[in-house]
């Protein structure tokens, strides 16, 4: 497998975490989003959307991190990243979607660039914009974790939800968002900082990192 990603991309980071939790070997190829490599003719052949991650598998190319993570769960079910019961699986997917649909897209690199170039926002305004969505999302997630989590987002082992959460906490810190109001999320972040799969997926550990 070949994972095309950017070291600090939250979406690519999710895929790395899941691949590592599954114990799978993969080659990484860096796509520097800052220089526009994702819009090059060669990369658009892989992913017409011009975004990361893209995962090459047996002659096929998978795009969009939710689809990649779901494929990993189907193709490599052990260890599982979704619970056994169907309602529990829906809860985990809802936690992941809370981050992947309602927080992350609103504070990624493309949106920040659009705010700056189209609306003339300065960095303080961009940080405030990001904090608005991160805080409201984390408030809901903190409550969900209090009901379902036992050391992780759901239960006592990492799930798809944790693959989404850890990159978003990193992003929150980059935007200067205070996190003291989210002790359960911070406890998960601390657990991930001790877990080999999460350590290996961290941006600083990637071959294309600055």
SS3 sequence of the chain: CEEEECCCCHHHHHHHHHHHHCCCCCEEEECCCCCCHHHCHHHHHHCCCCCCCEEEECCEEEECHHHHHHHHHHHCCCCCCCCCCHHHHHHHHHHHHHHHHHCHHHHCHHHHHHHHHHHCCCHHHHHHHHHHHHHHHHHHHHHHHHHHECCCCCECCCCHHHHHHHHHHHHHHHCCCCCCCCHHHHHHHHHHCCCHHHHHHCHHHCCCCC
pLDDT at residue 108, as a whole number: 85
Q: What is the mean pLDDT of residues 103-125?
A: 92
**What per-residue confidence (pLDDT) applies to 60?**
95
pLDDT at residue number 206: 97
59 or 69, higher pLDDT: 69
Q: What domains sit in the chain, N to C, each tagged with a CATH number?
A: 2-79 (3.40.30.10), 86-197 (1.20.1050.10)
Percent of the chain residues past pLDDT 70, beyond the cut: 100
Q: What is the mean pLDDT of residues 66-90?
A: 98
Q: Which two tokens stand for residue 116?
A: 């700056």
* pLDDT tier, 201 (very low <50, low <70, confident <90, very high otherwise): very high
Q: How far is CA 42 from the centre of its chain?
A: 24
Residue 55 has pLDDT above 90, yes or no: yes
Cα–Cα distance for residue pair 165/17, rounded to 1 Å: 11
Task: Give how far the C-alpha of residue 108 lies from the chain's centroid of Cα atoms, to the nearest Å.
Answer: 11
Q: What is the rounded average pLDDT of the residues 54-79? A: 96
pLDDT at 21: 98
26 preceded by a cis bond (ω within 30 of 0): no
pLDDT digits (tens, 9 = 90+) for 171-183: 999 999 999 999 9
Per-residue pLDDT at 75 exceeds 90: yes
Query: Average pLDDT for residues 165-174, to the nearest whole number?
Result: 97
Supply the pLDDT for residue 186: 98
Q: What is the mean pLDDT of the chain?
A: 96
Task: Enter the pTM of the model.
Answer: 0.95
Say if strands 54-57 and 60-63 run parallel, antiparallel, or are unpaired.
antiparallel
**Section 5-29 average pLDDT:** 97
Closest CA to 14 of 151, 209, 155, 158: 158
pLDDT score at 59? 87
pLDDT of 109 reads 83
pLDDT at 54: 97
Question: What would the mean pLDDT of 20-32 be, rounded to a whole number?
Answer: 97
SS3 112: helix
The SS3 of residue 110 is helix
């Amino acid at each position: 497998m070949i994972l095309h990603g950017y070291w600090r991309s939250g979406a690519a980071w999710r895929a790395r975490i899941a691949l590592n939790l599954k114990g799978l070997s993969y080659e990484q190829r860096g796509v520097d989003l800052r220089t526009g490599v994702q819009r090059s003719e060669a990369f658009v052949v892989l992913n017409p959307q011009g975004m990361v991650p893209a995962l090459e598998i047996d002659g096929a190319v998978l795009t969009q991190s939710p689809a990649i993570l779901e494929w990993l769960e189907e193709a490599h079910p052990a260890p599982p990243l979704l619970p056994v019961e169907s309602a529990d699986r829906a809860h985990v997917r809802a936690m992941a979607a809370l981050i992947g649909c309602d927080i992350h897209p609103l504070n990624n690199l493309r949106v920040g660039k659009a705010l700056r170039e189209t609306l003339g926002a300065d960095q303080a305004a961009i940080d405030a914009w990001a904090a608005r969505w991160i805080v409201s999302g984390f408030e809901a997630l903190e409550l969900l974790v209090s009901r379902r989590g036992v050391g992780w987002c759901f239960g006592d082992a990492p799930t798809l939800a944790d693959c989404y959460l850890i990159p978003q906490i990193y992003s929150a810190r980059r935007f200067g968002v205070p996190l003291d109001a989210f002790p359960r999320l911070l406890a998960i972040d601390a657990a991930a900082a001790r877990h080999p799969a999460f350590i290996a997926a961290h941006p600083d550990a990637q071959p294309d990192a600055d």
